[in-house]
Amino acid sequence: MPSAVSLPPCAAWQEDGGDVVLALSGDWKRDGPPATVTGISPDRHPSRYQVSELGSYDSTLPAFLFSLLRSATELPETKDKPVPALDGLPENLRGLLTLALAVPEENARLTTPLHSSEIRELGKITVQLWETIRSLLDFTGQTVLSLARFCRGKARFRSADFWLILQQCGAQALPIVSLISFLIGMILAFVGNVQLTNFGANLFVADLVGIAMVREMGVVMTAIIMSGRTGAAFAALIGSMKVNEEIDALQTFGFLPFDFLVLPRLLALLLMMPILTVYANVVGILGGMLVGALVGIPPVLYWTETLTSVDLTNSSLGVIKSVFFGAAIAISGCMQGMKAGNSSAAVGEATTRAVVASITAVIVLDSTFAAIFALLKI
């Protein structure tokens, strides 16, 4: 019962026939005076409470009692004992404390991570790298087996899905491929013209742009574009299907996910990457021709010099690499989608990993081809 005159809060420890009694009195308010504790605090919970002189209270009193009971619970001699008695307390206060004491307190020592040594961290990185390589080899093997089933006519997927994916990988990618390739050709021509003009050989800008586009820049830029555009789309779509348990439904109905999901996307990129590479090479050369016309090189002369420098061997190198780049992009995107977790956030993470993995695979493969071509003196 609230009193007319505000009394200071007080908690008094008392003993009554071997029982420990905690007498509470006064008004327990946040903006009031601090509580006064009298008597000797025992190493056990109060047996009951005396609240006949207790006035009004807010959250200050439950906080005081909770800290008191929690500290007593942490003592070794009381740690395994049941929840302490709350006899004598008001009904609302007793229910609040019962609920609070039912939740175990978080132990900071258990939640603090142990300090990891550098050797331990190196071991974790090594294990993660090995798991990544093993999963990549496993996925690649499953893809090869799916291709083998397709060659034998035993792979099942919807032809409508294949033609839709083929359109998305090919015709719908032409605008961005055209823009990037045209700008790359212009940049190469601008940079080459600045240097070659010093030697009076600005005509050889056509050689620079042509060879650079058909050997490296055309196929690499197309692969990077398809990694960020198509590889990410593959990962997002397959990851969303995994979240919605559509892949499990396919397996339940007897469809192989690799044949139904991975194979048409792999075939689409294998078919469209060489075509897009040739298109990017032509557009890049046209971009260089535009710059050549601006700096005084006639288009006819520029085109003739390009045909002289770009032979069949040079023009075929980028097309050959594009097949492997397309396979790497399709495998990276589909694998990350298959490995995605069962949440919307996991789909976004899988999409990000697919882009990074695709671009990394393209750069590694391009470096490998460059070393092989150098050894073969091509």
- Span 285-306, mean pLDDT? 92
Q: Helix, strand, coil proportions of the chain in percent (round to 5)?
A: 70, 10, 20
Helix (H, G, I), strand (E, B) or coil at 200: coil
Residue 259: closest CA among 271, 269, 247, 270: 247
Distance CA 58, CA 56 (A): 7
Distance CA 26, CA 296 (A): 98
- Within 8 A by CB and 6+ apart from 35, the residues are 8, 9, 10, 11, 26, 28, 60, 64
- Within 8 A by CB and 6+ apart from 155, the residues are 146, 149, 256, 259, 263
The predicted-structure confidence for 11-52, as pLDDT tens digits, reads as follows 888 887 777 888 888 888 888 888 888 877 776 778 888 888
Helix (H, G, I), strand (E, B) or coil at 14: strand
In the numeric block, which tokens belong to residue 373? 């071509």
Residue spans per domain, the chain: 10-109, 161-375
The predicted-structure confidence for 296-321, as pLDDT tens digits, reads as follows 899 999 999 999 989 888 889 999 99
The predicted-structure confidence for 119-141, as pLDDT tens digits, reads as follows 888 888 899 889 888 988 998 89
pTM of this prediction exceeds 0.75: no
Q: For residue 188, what is the enclosing H or E element?
A: helix 174-196
